[in-house]
Amino acid sequence: MDLNFVYVFSTQEQNQQKLRKAVSDVSREIDKYYNELKLERQLGAIEEVEQAECQCCGLKEECTAVYITEVQECYCGNWVCGLCSEAVKERVGRSPTVAMQDALNSHRDFCQEYNATRLNPQLSLTHSMREIAKRSLQNRKSKGLSISKLTRTTSYP
Protein backbone atom coordinates (compact mmCIF):
# COMPACT_ATOMS: atom_id res chain seq x y z
CA MET A 1 0.00 0.00 0.00
CA ASP A 2 1.06 3.47 -0.79
CA LEU A 3 1.77 5.66 2.25
CA ASN A 4 0.23 8.72 0.56
CA PHE A 5 -3.01 6.78 0.01
CA VAL A 6 -3.21 5.82 3.69
CA TYR A 7 -2.54 9.43 4.75
CA VAL A 8 -5.20 10.82 2.37
CA PHE A 9 -7.73 8.16 3.45
CA SER A 10 -7.03 8.88 7.11
CA THR A 11 -7.37 12.65 6.56
CA GLN A 12 -10.66 12.22 4.71
CA GLU A 13 -12.02 10.02 7.48
CA GLN A 14 -11.00 12.60 10.11
CA ASN A 15 -12.65 15.38 8.09
CA GLN A 16 -15.86 13.36 7.81
CA GLN A 17 -15.85 12.75 11.57
CA LYS A 18 -15.33 16.48 12.21
CA LEU A 19 -18.14 17.29 9.79
CA ARG A 20 -20.48 14.79 11.50
CA LYS A 21 -19.63 16.30 14.88
CA ALA A 22 -20.27 19.82 13.57
CA VAL A 23 -23.63 18.77 12.11
CA SER A 24 -24.52 17.02 15.36
CA ASP A 25 -23.59 20.13 17.40
CA VAL A 26 -25.66 22.38 15.13
CA SER A 27 -28.63 20.00 15.32
CA ARG A 28 -28.40 19.93 19.10
CA GLU A 29 -28.34 23.76 19.25
CA ILE A 30 -31.33 24.02 16.90
CA ASP A 31 -33.30 21.52 19.03
CA LYS A 32 -32.42 23.45 22.18
CA TYR A 33 -33.54 26.72 20.56
CA TYR A 34 -36.90 25.26 19.45
CA ASN A 35 -37.52 23.67 22.87
CA GLU A 36 -36.87 27.01 24.59
CA LEU A 37 -39.15 28.77 22.10
CA LYS A 38 -41.92 26.21 22.69
CA LEU A 39 -41.57 26.61 26.47
CA GLU A 40 -41.74 30.42 26.20
CA ARG A 41 -44.96 30.16 24.17
CA GLN A 42 -46.51 27.78 26.70
CA LEU A 43 -45.58 30.01 29.64
CA GLY A 44 -46.82 33.09 27.80
CA ALA A 45 -50.17 31.44 27.14
CA ILE A 46 -50.52 30.36 30.77
CA GLU A 47 -49.86 33.80 32.19
CA GLU A 48 -52.22 35.77 29.95
CA VAL A 49 -55.11 37.03 32.06
CA GLU A 50 -58.02 39.06 30.77
CA GLN A 51 -60.91 40.80 32.45
CA ALA A 52 -64.22 39.15 31.60
CA GLU A 53 -67.60 40.72 32.29
CA CYS A 54 -70.64 38.59 32.96
CA GLN A 55 -73.26 39.08 30.26
CA CYS A 56 -76.02 38.66 32.83
CA CYS A 57 -75.15 40.52 36.03
CA GLY A 58 -72.15 42.62 34.97
CA LEU A 59 -69.70 41.22 37.52
CA LYS A 60 -66.10 41.29 36.32
CA GLU A 61 -63.50 38.58 36.88
CA GLU A 62 -59.92 38.04 35.79
CA CYS A 63 -59.64 34.81 33.81
CA THR A 64 -57.33 33.14 31.35
CA ALA A 65 -58.24 33.31 27.68
CA VAL A 66 -58.64 29.51 27.62
CA TYR A 67 -61.16 29.59 30.48
CA ILE A 68 -63.11 32.43 28.88
CA THR A 69 -63.36 30.45 25.65
CA GLU A 70 -64.52 27.30 27.47
CA VAL A 71 -67.28 29.20 29.29
CA GLN A 72 -68.38 30.93 26.09
CA GLU A 73 -68.65 27.56 24.34
CA CYS A 74 -71.00 26.31 27.06
CA TYR A 75 -73.19 29.43 27.09
CA CYS A 76 -73.88 30.25 23.43
CA GLY A 77 -70.89 32.57 23.03
CA ASN A 78 -71.64 34.53 26.21
CA TRP A 79 -69.31 34.73 29.19
CA VAL A 80 -71.19 34.33 32.46
CA CYS A 81 -69.85 34.32 36.02
CA GLY A 82 -70.07 31.27 38.26
CA LEU A 83 -73.20 32.46 40.08
CA CYS A 84 -75.11 33.17 36.90
CA SER A 85 -73.94 29.94 35.27
CA GLU A 86 -75.42 28.00 38.19
CA ALA A 87 -78.69 29.90 37.90
CA VAL A 88 -78.85 29.26 34.15
CA LYS A 89 -78.04 25.55 34.62
CA GLU A 90 -80.74 25.34 37.28
CA ARG A 91 -83.25 26.93 34.90
CA VAL A 92 -82.33 24.52 32.10
CA GLY A 93 -82.36 21.58 34.52
CA ARG A 94 -85.88 22.36 35.78
CA SER A 95 -87.29 22.24 32.28
CA PRO A 96 -85.29 20.30 29.67
CA THR A 97 -87.33 21.91 26.89
CA VAL A 98 -85.85 25.32 27.74
CA ALA A 99 -82.95 26.10 25.41
CA MET A 100 -79.70 27.45 26.82
CA GLN A 101 -80.15 30.76 24.98
CA ASP A 102 -83.67 31.19 26.40
CA ALA A 103 -82.43 30.47 29.93
CA LEU A 104 -79.61 32.99 29.45
CA ASN A 105 -81.98 35.66 28.16
CA SER A 106 -84.41 35.06 31.02
CA HIS A 107 -81.66 35.24 33.64
CA ARG A 108 -80.11 38.32 32.04
CA ASP A 109 -83.52 40.06 32.11
CA PHE A 110 -83.93 39.11 35.77
CA CYS A 111 -80.48 40.49 36.62
CA GLN A 112 -81.05 43.76 34.79
CA GLU A 113 -84.41 44.28 36.47
CA TYR A 114 -82.96 43.37 39.85
CA ASN A 115 -79.90 45.63 39.45
CA ALA A 116 -82.08 48.60 38.52
CA THR A 117 -83.66 48.58 41.99
CA ARG A 118 -80.55 48.25 44.18
CA LEU A 119 -77.94 50.70 45.51
CA ASN A 120 -75.13 48.13 45.21
CA PRO A 121 -76.38 45.73 42.52
CA GLN A 122 -73.48 43.28 42.55
CA LEU A 123 -73.50 42.80 46.31
CA SER A 124 -77.29 42.49 46.44
CA LEU A 125 -77.33 40.01 43.57
CA THR A 126 -74.60 37.91 45.13
CA HIS A 127 -76.47 37.75 48.42
CA SER A 128 -79.71 36.82 46.66
CA MET A 129 -78.02 34.12 44.59
CA ARG A 130 -76.58 32.67 47.79
CA GLU A 131 -80.05 32.54 49.32
CA ILE A 132 -81.39 30.83 46.18
CA ALA A 133 -78.63 28.23 46.41
CA LYS A 134 -79.45 27.59 50.09
CA ARG A 135 -83.15 27.13 49.30
CA SER A 136 -82.27 24.79 46.44
CA LEU A 137 -80.13 22.73 48.81
CA GLN A 138 -82.93 22.56 51.37
CA ASN A 139 -85.39 21.46 48.67
CA ARG A 140 -83.03 18.69 47.61
CA LYS A 141 -82.64 17.53 51.22
CA SER A 142 -86.40 17.43 51.72
CA LYS A 143 -86.88 15.42 48.50
CA GLY A 144 -84.06 13.02 49.38
CA LEU A 145 -82.01 13.89 46.29
CA SER A 146 -78.22 13.69 46.20
CA ILE A 147 -76.63 16.68 47.85
CA SER A 148 -73.40 18.29 46.86
CA LYS A 149 -71.81 20.41 49.55
CA LEU A 150 -71.76 24.15 48.91
CA THR A 151 -68.44 25.61 50.00
CA ARG A 152 -66.68 28.89 49.67
CA THR A 153 -63.21 28.47 48.18
CA THR A 154 -61.88 31.99 48.59
CA SER A 155 -62.77 35.02 50.59
CA TYR A 156 -62.68 38.52 49.17
CA PRO A 157 -62.59 41.62 51.32
pLDDT band (50, 70, 90) for residue 77: very high
Residue, of 84 and 123, whose pLDDT is higher: 84
Ordered by start, the domain boundaries in the chain are 9-47, 49-140
pLDDT band (50, 70, 90) for residue 73: very high
Q: What is the pLDDT of residue 111?
A: 86
Residue, of 14 and 103, whose pLDDT is higher: 103
What does each C-alpha distance from 40 to 37, 44, 63, 69 come to in angstroms?
5, 6, 20, 22
pLDDT digits (tens, 9 = 90+) for 94-128: 887 889 999 999 999 988 887 777 666 666 667 77
Q: Burial of 84 by CB count in 10 Å (0-12 exposed, 13-18 middle, 19+ buried)?
A: buried
Q: What are phi and psi of 145, to 5 degrees?
A: -80, 165
Q: What is the pLDDT of residue 45?
A: 56
Residue, of 77 and 31, whose pLDDT is higher: 77
In this predicted structure, the answer to whether residue 4 has a pLDDT above a threshold of 50 is yes
Mention every residue, 6+ apart, whose C-beta is less than 8 A from residue 141.
147
Residue, of 77 and 16, whose pLDDT is higher: 77
